[in-house]
Structure 1
Amino acid sequence: MTKGKVTICMGFEGSANKIGVGIVTSEGDILANPRETFITPPGTGFLPRETALHHQQVIVPLVQKCLKEANLTPKDIDCLAYTKGPGMGAPLVSTAVVMRTLAQIWNVPIVPVNHCVGHIEMGRLVTGAVDPIVLYVSGGNTQVIAYSEKRYRIFGETIDIAVGNCLDRFARCLGLSNDPSPGYNIEQLAKKGSQYIEMPYNVKGMDVSFSGILSFAEDTVVKMLKKGTATKADLCFSFQETIFAMLVEITERAMAHCNTQDVLIVGGVGCNKRLQAMMKIMADERGGVLYATDERYCIDNGAMIAWPGLLAFGQGDTIPVEESSVTQRYRTDDPVINWRDD
């Protein structure tokens, strides 16, 4: 990156059922960030093959829309960043193939980005958070993270399924719509709940387990609905309160361990207003600050890949096209964070 020159990166994100293309400048300006979501019928999830086909059908129009919104041409793009992983194999590959093709046509460098790091850096950019404890909650990941010595260190995580996956499967159990997302529909229904039903609470040190509460939901919830002893709203309310309390507990423990008062929530589940409210109560009691964003940046998007791509590009971290592979398993603490000096 030439000193003093504003550089521009286009980022590609397609690790799950969202496909996004974003353009960000080295000054942190988000010029465009369109995305599309693959939505399946109620009671179903999204499979890799069908998700990849969706991404293949919409990604080129998304690139065109992104350039138009940013009022740029391919000649203005200095580098392309893409999600290397983690994520679903077929969607990751479909997205990477398009990025790889454009990089050769446009003759620009390629930067691989860790999906989880993308969420963190996007959150830091949008909120202004400097060095908070990070709660990363999404469909495929649940981790409590802190930065130290050029890496994002994982202090706690799920030992079975991710919180977003847990919410999705609970919504499936209740027959809730996948439009715009299962978690959002649970959140809205939970606001109408008034009866708290005790559910399994599984915190194991710094880690959490969601399989127990999900099994309880899949077995007991159906019986309660049939008997009329609870409503769907009551069940959504109780489910949210329980799993979010678990997340707040392990986050506070990490904050105490790292002597940090501030917390940043990232990932698709981080949009949930109830989770944000519960976390804010805890942060306020510790004299700290809660940093959170809305669905524009919490949910998977292209800009969250473009921004850390630019940061890495500034350090010369580019790769040749033949090395632009993807991986379904790519830990948050794997990549070296060369752009941070604190």
Structure 2
Amino acid sequence: MAPSDERACTRALGLEGSANKIGVGVVRSDGTIESNPRETYVTPPGSGFLPNDTARHHRARVVDLVRKALREAGVTMGEIDVVAYTRGPGMGAPLTAVAACARTLAGLYDKPMVGVNHCVAHIEMGRLVTGCDDPVILYASGGNTQVIAYNERRYRIFGETIDIAVGNMLDRFARVCGLSNDPAPGYNIEQEAKKGKKFVEGPYGVKGMDVNLSGILTFYKTYAEENLGKGEVTVADLCFSMQETVFSMLVEITERAMAHVNAKDVMIVGGVGCNLRLQEMMAIMARERGGKLYGLDENGRMDDRFCIDNGAMIAHTGLIQYLNGETTPIEETECTQRFRTDEVLVTWRDKAGTKRTAEGSPAAS
């Protein structure tokens, strides 16, 4: 379907709601992010977010967020060319709640739809905002932990968690420690870790190119239950110890993938990528290899707005899929909790990974 008028740029509205964050974004085909509002479902300390409660939160917020996104972008639904939504992976109930809103908007305003892989959207948003064309990617979030590199029109997974994701592990340990979920349990672990002085050595779960994280969680959980309050170790010490151990593992498997594909540059995407200690460790490794960690600003920090789940990443990825001839028929706009990164045919990049514009043609070198 062609754009709705003769404007120079095509626009997409993207809706993301695969976990406890719901976001709506408006993005143009020249890469301009016109709006990207988001809200987070925060539960009391010591508790996690359940699927049905999270879906209820998203249903209550999504209409206002769509209005806010359009208002901030200064456009109406008539100026939107395609509606993109997160098809998966993620939690079933939140995914379907947000997809229902996307279907309603597409139906009311006669817009085509595009279902987007959440993981690929993180990668494409990272490539957009950092300007890095073909890095090795560490995708570290609440639901996913993967080391990825592009080849032959697929984002290939070189290593991943074989049990739980790193963000899930950090969230669950925060509950053990009684840390707040506001703004995020992983963030509060990071702040505690900065105060840690004693290193408690735990298991180191690297299995070739993969990592095992549940055993580390069990070790530190048991250690906390048996030793906290006795004056020998603090919550800060355990947060510090867990962070150093797990992030060392992630840097190790990332470096191994970089060596395998002869890459120097790396990029971190996903919510855990906001962690400054992980960024520091990864930047040191990349620098020692003669490369760099992409995405760091003048203060040495990555832009949290685009690491954390957001609607703009869905809009951007849906738009480049749409401009390369992809749409999702309304009868196929279901969601799936399991949708692997390497299942997606990357039609907008050539086999060698040459950078392409949103319109699908090779970019000028």
- TM-score normalised according to structure 2 size: 0.92
CA distance in 2 between partners of 1:212 and 1:74 (Å)? 49
The C-alpha deviation readout for 1:94-137, integer Å capped at 9, x for no partner, is 00000000001111110110000000000000000110000000
Q: Which of 91, 94, 107 does residue 88 from structure 1 map onto?
A: 91
Q: Which of 181, 185, 188 does residue 184 from structure 2 map onto?
A: 181
Shift of 1:4: 8.2
**What is aligned with 2:337?**
328
Counterpart residue identity of residue 223, structure 1: E
2:323 aligned with 1:314 = yes
**SS at structure 2 position matched to 1:333:** helix
**What is aligned with 1:197?**
200
**What is aligned with 1:111?**
114
Counterpart residue identity of residue 313, structure 1: Y
Q: Which of 44, 48, 53 does residue 50 from structure 1 map onto?
A: 53
Query: Gapped runs of 5+ residues in structure 1?
Result: none
CA distance in 2 between partners of 1:237 and 1:259 (Å)? 32
CA distance in 1 between partners of 2:328 and 2:155 (Å)? 22
**SS at structure 2 position matched to 1:226:** coil
CA distance in 1 between partners of 2:135 and 2:7 (Å)? 29
Q: Which of 210, 219, 223 does residue 220 from structure 1 map onto?
A: 223
CA distance in 2 between partners of 1:294 and 1:186 (Å)? 19
CA distance in 2 between partners of 1:121 and 1:310 (Å)? 11
2:275 aligned with 1:272 = yes
**What is aligned with 2:363?**
none
**What is aligned with 1:99?**
102
**What is aligned with 2:34?**
31
2:343 aligned with 1:340 = no
**What is aligned with 2:357?**
none
Counting matched residue pairs gives 342
Shift of 1:222: 2.0
Which aligned runs of 4 or more in structure 1 are off by greater than 3 angstroms? 1-5
**SS at structure 2 position matched to 1:311:** helix
**SS at structure 1 position matched to 2:268:** strand
CA distance in 1 between partners of 2:348 and 2:228 (Å)? 52
CA distance in 2 between partners of 1:202 and 1:4 (Å)? 53
Query: Gapped runs of 5+ residues in structure 2?
Result: 296-301, 354-365
CA distance in 1 between partners of 2:294 and 2:189 (Å)? 23
**SS at structure 1 position matched to 2:75:** coil
Shift of 1:181: 0.2
**What is aligned with 2:214?**
211
**What is aligned with 1:229?**
232
CA distance in 2 between partners of 1:228 and 1:51 (Å)? 38
2:266 aligned with 1:263 = yes
CA distance in 2 between partners of 1:193 and 1:245 (Å)? 17
CA distance in 2 between partners of 1:291 and 1:266 (Å)? 10
2:13 aligned with 1:10 = yes
Shift of 1:319: 1.6
Q: Which of 73, 79, 82 does residue 76 from structure 2 map onto?
A: 73
The C-alpha deviation readout for 1:170-228, integer Å capped at 9, x for no partner, is 10000000000000000011111111111111100000000111001111122221322
**What is aligned with 2:362?**
none
Q: Percent of aligned pairs with the same residue?
A: 65
Counterpart residue identity of residue 280, structure 2: A
Q: Which of 250, 263, 285 does residue 282 from structure 1 map onto?
A: 285
**What is aligned with 1:59?**
62
**What is aligned with 1:124?**
127
**What is aligned with 1:303?**
312
**What is aligned with 2:360?**
none
The C-alpha deviation readout for 1:59-110, integer Å capped at 9, x for no partner, is 0000000111011111110001000000000000000000000001111110
CA distance in 1 between partners of 2:308 and 2:318 (Å)? 18
Shift of 1:5: 3.2
Shift of 1:294: 2.2
2:160 aligned with 1:150 = no
The C-alpha deviation readout for 1:257-296, integer Å capped at 9, x for no partner, is 0000100100000000000000000000000110133220
**SS at structure 1 position matched to 2:39:** strand
CA distance in 2 between partners of 1:145 and 1:266 (Å)? 11
Counterpart residue identity of residue 196, structure 1: F
- TM-score normalised according to structure 1 size: 0.98
